[in-house]
Amino acid sequence: MMTNIQTIQFFRKRIPSFVCKPGCHDCCGPVTASSEEMSLLPVKTAEEHDVALANLDCPHLGQDGCEVYAERPLICRLFGTTPRLACPNGHRPDVMIDPRIEEKIHQFFLATRQVLV
Ligand code: SF4
Ligand code: SF4
């Protein structure tokens, strides 16, 4: 039985990566993540969360894009790798995510308590 952290690492390795439009962060916004993923991210104040949410932004989005890229949540990694979350700018990996892995990730989302990042 894998721990949630091990499951997250398992999924991270199986989500294909691809090159985004330089400087783009069009798909960033309010996202949710499991508490294990939250524990990998720096803590933001309630005020920082409020400001981000009021702008429909993510509190980890900075001037130069995502400030937590190496530890960004699964939902951020999934974006653009499946037709269900297609990039509005047409960027994608050569090979999209295996639908069976995508389904398992959605099951993981349902099975874990997801909180606003
Ligand atoms: S996936 Fe598309 S919308 Fe999101 S950052 Fe990359 S290029 Fe921009
Ligand atoms: S964690 Fe990073 S990639 Fe995900 S929504 Fe926030 S800024 Fe964007």
17-56 tens-digit pLDDT = 999 999 999 999 999 999 999 999 999 999 999 999 999 9
Which of 16, 10, 9 lies closest to 81, judged by CA? 16
Question: Which residue out of 66, 74, 77, 79 has the highest number of ligand 2 atoms within 8 Å of its CB and is therefore the one to mutate?
Answer: 66
- Which residues sit with their C-beta closer than 6 Å to ligand 2? 25, 28, 31, 58, 60-61, 66, 68, 72-73, 76, 117
92-113 tens-digit pLDDT = 999 999 999 999 999 999 999 9
Q: Is 12 exposed, middle or buried (0-12, 13-18, 19+ CB in 10 A)?
A: middle
Q: Is 76 exposed, middle or buried (0-12, 13-18, 19+ CB in 10 A)?
A: buried
Residue 65 Rama label (left phi>0; alpha psi -120 to 50; beta): left
State pTM to two decimals: 0.95
Give the ligand with the smallest distance to the CA of 58.
2
Q: Give residue 65 CA to ligand 1 midpoint distance, Å.
A: 11
56-94 tens-digit pLDDT = 999 999 999 999 999 999 999 999 999 999 999 999 999
- pLDDT at residue 1, rounded to an integer: 85
Question: Three-class SS of residue 66?
Answer: strand
The beta strands (E) that lie in 1-47 are given as 32-34
Question: Three-class SS of residue 98?
Answer: coil
